[in-house]
Structure 1
Amino acid sequence: MKDKYVTNLSYLKVIVKPRFPKFVRRLSKFIMRYGIVPLVKILGKLLGFGFGKNGVKRYPEHFITLKDGTELATDIYVPKRIFKKKSKCPTILVRVPYWKDSWSFIGYAYAVHGFATIIQDIRGTGHSTGFNYYLFTEREDGLETLEWISKQYWYNGKIGMAGASYFGITQLALSWDNRYLTCISPAITSTLNLWINNGGLQIHALTTSIYRIMLNIASHREVPPVDTLTNLMQERYLNPKYALYNDPIKKKSGIKLSQLKGKTIKEVQDLLVAFYNVKNFDSSKRNLKIYYKFLNDFLITRDLDKDSYKMSGFLEMDFKKFSQPAFMLAGWQDMFFEHQLRDFLEIKMNSNRDAKKYSKLVIGSWAHAAIGHPESKIRNAGLPRFYKEFINLNWNRYWLKDEKHVFPDINNPSIKYWIMGKNTWRYTEDWPPENIEYRRLYIHSGGSANSIKGEGILNLEEPSNEAEDMYIFDPMNPVITKGGRNLGILKGAHNQKNTEKREDVLIYSTKPLEKGIEITGPVKMILYASSSAKDTDFMVKLVDVYPRGKAINILDAGIRARFRNGEDGPSLIEPRKAYIYEIELGNTSNYFRKGHQIRIEITSSNFPRFDINSNLGGEGGSGEYIIAEQKIYHSQEYPSHLIIPVLK
């Protein structure tokens, strides 16, 4: 079948960020010029950091010239008393891709509390020159920047780093085998490859959003009035035709990410020169023509294969040489969370000295720098708490200024997490916590669990001989994403009532709980299913149902049938044959209160969060697809069930 246009997209929120009107921008410039120091002092007081005692000297923009000729635009903020006396103080480095001038408040915020602060546009963004290799050069560029800091008059031998997302990655890129760094505080970020360990699915909306961000930051020296949203990007967000997956079983690729391991910037440059057949390529200068091709091949066509466990820039990473303590801020609904959790556990297991003993992980209910759960719009776990932890002044005061009284959590267990539903914090040294037991919740029905009107049941009883449930999967009428671990589209936990009206969504719910149940740890679905197609997808969502029917998503994940045995050995399925699928939904901590229900939704699409299977198994042409008949089994032979970690 050829494509048609999807309908019912009314609540898919694509973020087209209009910037502020002119008068607001002018007011902002006025404040930045004349009133920023008093403002950050007041905000610091409101966030519980105390009232900053220092004035701030902001130097004119400085360019650090790297060994290959790239010039990194750098802003320098020094406490006035340090500037006047040419004395010493600790330094905080923030390396950003998002126009350093937009983050000048951070420079002032740290400087008023006695830190020299360096904010820098990374290679190929903002005012900096150079070709942006998407993470590959962050370690080498960052090390040269640290060496430059060590030669400045204020340098006292102590440097920390701060920032979230990409500029959390720039911290982690410097986190091992480094004699300069004292501590780091990477938030909502990871060293690991976001594009693998997704059950073989492509993270479609996230990829589109990263593509959009990277185009913006490389194309504009200053913050643009409106974020770029090309026709291609719009179609990728809204039109399922642009998300159809139909790769051949053995897909050929140009350059593999794993090929970059051990290579210098010059060697990677030579690879690109050969791949794109270009001459006179200079990595110290921007080349937008090649960069746009590079981004397209890396993120859209996938001709540059993201095949490694870690992202470029971390291919040589050795956690055994990770020695500085890290404060990691995470969110249950953040796109990086599962990867960030693995990073932290690796630090605790394999790093040494202060990193192993004192590194901390704080997990709130947040999405990616956004509210993650509707009940978390409160001071103790809402966005004000996120921004307080993001700036993390007390962590830096503890390590960089030896103010040991300001961070009382230093001797508490290393993981602090927010329990959604119970709305409280708890500490643990181990993950998952020791005091949990795994229970199996089995799905049941009489053969009609379709939609909220169906008869699907979820309970502890093993099934006997029950009729399977069936639904039709039409790739051009996908189930629309509403919330989850996203970027660029609606994030966090939201009511799934519209999704649950669909006949192609199977719903299985417990009875209203007679007493509350806390689920803390990894959740997994064992699914027995068949399809009329030779390749297809299955999606599972864990939902918290309130007494009046509101259904809030907690976790969701899926699997591509060809990757049921892992992403390294794809194989097609035999149509109408039942197979077992193990779907890792991920980690969470959620208290299902008395009167609530535990629910799972099963379907075959979640667009645009994930791409959509054409059901063709690599055959047919571009834009083609077939409709598939899907069956979900719950019998003595095929006991589909959810495995949940229940707090004892």
Structure 2
Amino acid sequence: MLGISEVTALLFLSSFNSTGLVSALALFVLAVDLMPAVAAQQSANKWRHSFEMVPMRDGVRLATYIWFPKGDGPYPVVLIRTPYGGAGVIDWQTERLLENGYCIVGQDPRGRFKSEGSALAFMADGWGEHKDGVDTVEWIAKQPWCTGKVGTWGVSGPGITQMLMAGAAPSRLACQHIGIAAADLYHQAFFQGGELRLELAIYWLQRNGYDMQAHAKLVMEHRLYDEFWRQLNLNEPNVRPNAPMLNWSGWYDIFSQGAIDAFIAGKHRGGPKARHDQILIMGPWPHGIAKDFGQAHLPFEVLTPPMIDCLAYFDYYLKGIKNEVANAKPVYYYTIGDITDPECKLNRWRAADDWPVPCNYTPMYLHADGTMSFNKPAANGQPRSFIYDPKNPVPTLGGNNLFLEKGPFDNRELEKRSDVLVYTSAPLTEDLEVTGRVKVKLFVSTSCTDTDFTAKLCDVYPDGRSFNVLDGIVRPRFRNGCTKDEPLQPGKIYEVEIDLWSTSWVFRKGHCIRLDVSSSNYPRFESNPNTGELFALSVDLNDPLKPNPNRRTIKARNTVYADAVHPSCVILPVVK
């Protein structure tokens, strides 16, 4: 997950309309990201500041850094609770807030850096036994230097601490500006589709110095979705955020569905302070704002999203200044028309009053001959099988990754593998817009008691290039939800659903729609050993770049059915 300075520079650009000025600032962004830590410290030291060990409800004290703007207080406060260290939150973006009269508070979460307590990532930030976010907001609001108006800000890791604070609904929380963050730690950060997000969860914990054994113990004790995880999930129906939120993310972000889910939680079932003050911004981006990533080359306008400027947002909610935020649309989203042509007119920002936008959920069926169409499959369609070997998994190529290459890539080489089943439509006779959540329904069987199935939606260009749009995974032993474990019966046919999350994409006239089906996408997701072991890592827990020498695997013969009784399909949210 990104540190603050790696993303916020581009957010600042959105407050300018001059292309020339933005271009110059873009060069400045590169310099900022390369600025050594000593320069950032000098920036922090030029502001009056103090340090406090703030007590939580159980007596554990958290290291809290406070920077004051010039002039006499009290001040509105922007809080940043970050696993990357509260001492390092002052960069040119937060300086901009200081220069405009905001007090900045940075905090080390429980067990991190100078804070006391046990460091289990994000586990004390929700609404369980510990409510560190709530306790911190309440403490700030009572200080003589605070006006009583407290907002929160941050992206990625500091965005997740905000998501969890939102679910706890602190009474003194005035607003939140949240970027690229998970709303549900179990299903979005750890176990998407029931399978471990290896590249994200394990690599991130290890690279940030967390106790890997402690986290492994935690995960093994709570491998199923239980009450522990419900206290870390904004999607639970009884969780009601009660503050204005601005959530932003990108279609290729590691947490893209998180921003959408948080918007829905606030707008559709939030408290009275939340329901009418939610903003969702979905760009085409990966984990951060960019126009050139993977093999995508998008227009410059993707760097200047509407309504994302945090200064205007905080001015409105923390100072009561009437500005453009008062008339903001609830939803801004970017539709991708062509990732290779920045001049394509179908690439554009759009606005909506709610999410999801009106659409027709339309099944496109898989056929035994490897085609796809809107026609149901024939009664005598024959199944297709492949051998999945955990020792030779399908390698990850692009997609919603953190450390690996991210975004769209030409997948033709992977589609030549014998363990990838390819289903392709005829060339489209007209443009087809897909905006919303995409799901895949498969009828499958396996020779083992446990395996995985993956699906990847691709846009096939007329020259044959096959670009990944969305992908997902399911561990069929959790086919009825991750609250119970139901091992498979070899040879039995099961219906499973693969959630590909969401996008806004135009499959253009002359292009084909493709679905690649396999059983691995490694190391984006852990490779299933097919042995039935619930948590058998392929890597050394303390050094994820090394394989686990003690792991046992077996090969599986996996089968996909496509006939009238077993109508496997991808369900597309088609917008007319």
Bin for the TM-score computed over the shorter chain:
0.7 to 0.9
1:201 to 184, 191, 195: 195
Name the structure 1 match of 2:117.
Answer: 130
2:246 aligned partner, one-letter code: F
Name the structure 1 match of 2:364.
Answer: 441
Is residue 155 of structure 1 aligned with residue 143 of structure 2? no
Name the structure 2 match of 1:639.
Answer: 567
Q: Output aligned runs, 1:423-502, within 5 Å.
A: 423-434=347-358, 436-446=359-369, 456-464=370-378, 465-502=380-417
Question: What SS is found at the alignment partner of 1:173?
Answer: helix
Q: State the distance in 1 between where 2:287 and 2:155 align.
A: 9
Preserved CA contact (<8 Å) 2:360 2:574? yes
2:508 to 584, 589, 593: 593
Preserved CA contact (<8 Å) 1:58 1:75? no
How much does 1:385 deviate? 4.6
Q: State the distance in 2 between where 1:170 and 1:513 align.
A: 44
Q: State the distance in 2 between where 1:326 and 1:207 align.
A: 26
> In angstroms, what is the RMSD of aligned CA positions?
3.2
How much does 1:212 deviate? 1.3
Q: State the distance in 1 between where 2:218 and 2:420 align.
A: 33
Name the structure 2 match of 1:327.
Answer: 246
Name the structure 1 match of 2:319.
Answer: 401
Is residue 369 of structure 1 aligned with residue 262 of structure 2? no
2:73 to 78, 87, 97: 87
Q: Deviations over 1:110-132 (max 9, x none)?
A: 10122111112222222333322
1:565 to 477, 480, 485: 480
Change (3 A) 1:33 1:564: closer
Change (3 A) 1:577 1:381: same
Change (3 A) 1:623 1:88: closer
Q: State the distance in 2 between where 1:591 and 1:431 align.
A: 18
Name the structure 2 match of 1:183.
Answer: 175
How much does 1:640 deviate? 2.0
Is residue 341 of structure 1 aligned with residue 260 of structure 2? yes
Bigger CA drift: 151-160 or 605-614? 151-160
How much does 1:479 deviate? 0.2
1:423 aligned partner, one-letter code: N
Question: What SS is found at the alignment partner of 2:265?
Answer: helix
Change (3 A) 1:351 1:121: same
Q: State the distance in 1 between where 2:267 and 2:98 align.
A: 31
1:75 to 42, 57, 65: 65
Change (3 A) 1:406 1:128: same
How much does 1:172 deviate? 3.2
Q: State the distance in 2 between where 1:33 and 1:528 align.
A: 57
Q: State the distance in 2 between where 1:27 and 1:59 align.
A: 22
Q: Deviations over 1:342-381 (max 9, x none)?
A: 3321221222223101111111122222546754644322
Over the matched positions of the two proteins, sequence identity in percent amounts to 31
Change (3 A) 1:378 1:70: farther
Q: Output aligned runs, 1:520-599, within 5 Å.
A: 520-599=435-514
Question: What SS is found at the alignment partner of 1:135?
Answer: coil
Number of residue-to-residue matches in the alignment: 512
Change (3 A) 1:404 1:379: farther
Q: Output aligned runs, 1:593-632, within 5 Å.
A: 593-618=508-533, 623-632=551-560
Structure ID, larger Rg: 1
2:336 to 411, 416, 420: 420
Question: What SS is found at the alignment partner of 2:137?
Answer: helix
Q: State the distance in 2 between where 1:519 and 1:501 align.
A: 26
Change (3 A) 1:393 1:306: farther
Q: State the distance in 2 between where 1:27 and 1:565 align.
A: 49
Change (3 A) 1:306 1:380: farther
How much does 1:517 deviate? 0.6
1:57 to 34, 47, 61: 47
How much does 1:477 deviate? 0.7
1:646 aligned partner, one-letter code: V
Q: Deviations over 1:213-252 (max 9, x none)?
A: 44x2x5xxxxxxxxxxxxxxxxxxxxxxxxxxxxxxxxxx
Structure 1 unaligned spans of 5+: 1-22, 38-54, 219-290, 447-455
How much does 1:318 deviate? 8.5
Preserved CA contact (<8 Å) 2:420 2:517? yes
Superposition TM-score, scaled by structure 1 size:
0.72
Is residue 381 of structure 1 aligned with residue 368 of structure 2? no
Question: What SS is found at the alignment partner of 2:445?
Answer: strand
Change (3 A) 1:593 1:115: same
Name the structure 1 match of 2:310.
Answer: 392
How much does 1:324 deviate? 1.6
Q: State the distance in 1 between where 2:56 and 2:495 align.
A: 53
1:119 aligned partner, one-letter code: G
Q: Deviations over 1:2-28 (max 9, x none)?
A: xxxxxxxxxxxxxxxxxxxxx999963
Change (3 A) 1:148 1:532: closer
Preserved CA contact (<8 Å) 1:344 1:361? yes
Q: State the distance in 1 between where 2:224 and 2:490 align.
A: 30
Question: What SS is found at the alignment partner of 2:178?
Answer: strand
Q: Output aligned runs, 1:271-286, within 5 Å.
A: none
Preserved CA contact (<8 Å) 1:321 1:352? yes
Q: Deviations over 1:45-69 (max 9, x none)?
A: xxxxxxxxxx962315444355655
Change (3 A) 1:319 1:213: farther
Preserved CA contact (<8 Å) 1:107 1:119? no
Change (3 A) 1:148 1:550: same
How much does 1:604 deviate? 1.2
Change (3 A) 1:459 1:25: closer
Structure 2 unaligned spans of 5+: 1-30, 338-345, 537-549
Bigger CA drift: 110-119 or 60-69? 60-69
How much does 1:602 deviate? 0.8
1:363 aligned partner, one-letter code: M
Q: State the distance in 2 between where 1:202 and 1:305 align.
A: 10
How much does 1:646 deviate? 0.7
How much does 1:313 deviate? 5.5
Change (3 A) 1:181 1:472: same
Q: State the distance in 1 between where 2:39 and 2:239 align.
A: 46
How much does 1:478 deviate? 0.5
How much does 1:76 deviate? 2.2
1:77 aligned partner, one-letter code: W
Q: State the distance in 1 between where 2:559 and 2:40 align.
A: 60
Preserved CA contact (<8 Å) 2:225 2:483? no
1:73 aligned partner, one-letter code: A
2:275 aligned partner, one-letter code: K
Preserved CA contact (<8 Å) 1:496 1:551? yes
Change (3 A) 1:27 1:497: same
Is residue 114 of structure 1 aligned with residue 101 of structure 2? yes
Preserved CA contact (<8 Å) 1:347 1:355? yes
Name the structure 2 match of 1:294.
Answer: 214
Q: State the distance in 2 between where 1:155 and 1:561 align.
A: 52
Change (3 A) 1:96 1:474: same
Q: State the distance in 2 between where 1:582 and 1:24 align.
A: 44
Name the structure 2 match of 1:11.
Answer: none
Is residue 357 of structure 1 aligned with residue 276 of structure 2? yes
Name the structure 2 match of 1:276.
Answer: none
Change (3 A) 1:564 1:89: closer
Q: Deviations over 1:447-466 (max 9, x none)?
A: xxxxxxxxx21112222223
Question: What SS is found at the alignment partner of 1:186?
Answer: strand
Q: State the distance in 1 between where 2:466 and 2:79 align.
A: 43
How much does 1:188 deviate? 1.7
Tell me: higher relative CO, structure 1 or 2? Use CA pairs within 8 A at least 6 residues apart.
1
Change (3 A) 1:329 1:315: closer
